[in-house]
Amino acid sequence: MTIAIIGGGVCGLSLALHLKKRGIAARVYERVPTIKPLGVGITLLPHAMREFSALGLGEELLAAGIENRESRFYNRFGQLIYREERGKFAGYAYPEVGIHRGKLHLILYNAVCRELGEDAVVTGHECTGVEQDEAGVTVRFKDREAVRADIVVACDGINSAIRKQFYPDDKVVFTGINTWRGVTRRKPILDGRTYMRVGSINTGKMVIYPIVDNVDGQGNQLINWMAEIKRDDARAQNDWNKPGNLADFFPIYESWRFDWLDVAQMIRDADQILEYPMVDKDPISRWTFGRVTLGGDAAHPMYPRGSNGGAQAAIDARTLADCLAKATAQSGAQAADPRDALKAYETARAEPAAQVVRTNRAQPPDFINIKVEELVGDRPFDNLEDYISQDELKALSDSYKRVAGFALADVGRTG
């Protein structure tokens, strides 16, 4: 069985590695002409690290990033709302790691080249669509020759050309939330191992965490941050990967100077600022069409909240590889149709992924911040326990983890 993977992101590269381990041939077709480290930060939660560790990449990713010890939630006045240990410090079998997205991508890419060969990832191939028959699938590319495969997996992202072929009216959902992402070199914040959520989308929100230690040889870290703002005008949608304009968002954060962090100065000192719209797509129950199936953001684009997009893509890759391996293990009269494997994958993954999409919309992990802001009335508090207990806040956090698939019971405890 030969498999064409369309898209060389987290899902596509992970799938290629998983298939190799199961003895199944695959080749990745990537749109861009050259694989380069792009983007800013990403957090690899324990269930994501579980998937990457299964590929033998856990230690390499940990060495390339920063292991989070703790997550903290603050209001926009810099007051601590809730804190919890993370990753191995919370008893998980796997760490939680903040890392530059470009480093994650290159580690996966280099692993594919090492394990499958330099020609396993074919760049400069922009997929325009697929055609299939009883014998296989023809993949069409812009200004390139078509290729044939037994199975095609669309891992070509939120703007997937293959998904568009099966869902021609498919559109992103934008509800007025825009984001600006940046990286800043500065001294460590708190203990240098903390993931921070500050404020809410209603009055201005920041997510802040370190992704590189001692970035300049002088003890400074590379700090990843994301500003997130909801506005009433849902037509004012950001561009993608466009350099951010300070005037568009900085006034909201100009007064954010806390005794533990000068947020305004951190924004001013950024090496790079990019703007993105906060978008997703409505969940779909059907991912598989004969010999073609969807994975990662092509199947379930979700809000970049809770650091779950990459994790869900990695879970897709492992699940699909398992289903295909089971199909190829059968032989003779009992030989399985690979199309059945794609349907089994869809059955296993479509609804769990849809639940994460819906939860990220309705009750994201920073719902804690929103809840406290509503209860307190968007002002500093003297005693938070007068409004909500720490046990109630913990319940909100645990609820998100269960739906997103990284509750401690689901991922596994240390030892």
Between CA 124 and CA 110, with CA 138 as vertex, the angle to 5 degrees is 40
Question: By the 8 A CB rule, do 87 and 66 touch?
Answer: no
Predicted TM-score (pTM) of this structure: 0.92
Give dist(CA 307, CA 226) in Å, integer: 12
Instruction: Dihedral sign for Cα 352, 354, 355, 357, please.
Output: positive
CATH topology of domain 2-39+104-172+284-362: FAD/NAD(P)-binding domain (3.50.50)
User: Where are the domains positioned within the chain?
Assistant: 2-39+104-172+284-362
Q: How is the beta sheet containing 137-141 ordered, strand by strand?
A: 127-132, 137-141, 144-149
The pLDDT tens digits along the chain (415 residues) read 899 999 999 999 999 999 999 999 999 999 999 888 777 899 999 999 999 999 999 999 999 999 999 999 999 999 999 999 999 999 999 999 999 999 999 999 999 999 999 999 999 999 999 999 999 999 999 999 999 999 999 999 999 999 999 999 999 998 888 999 999 999 999 999 999 999 998 899 999 999 999 999 999 999 999 999 988 766 678 777 788 899 999 999 999 999 999 999 999 999 989 998 889 999 999 999 999 999 999 999 998 776 788 999 999 999 999 999 998 876 544 567 899 999 999 999 999 999 989 988 887 778 899 999 999 999 999 999 999 999 999 998 998 888 777 888 878 766 4
Q: Which of 19, 27, 112 is nearest to 327 (CA)?
A: 19
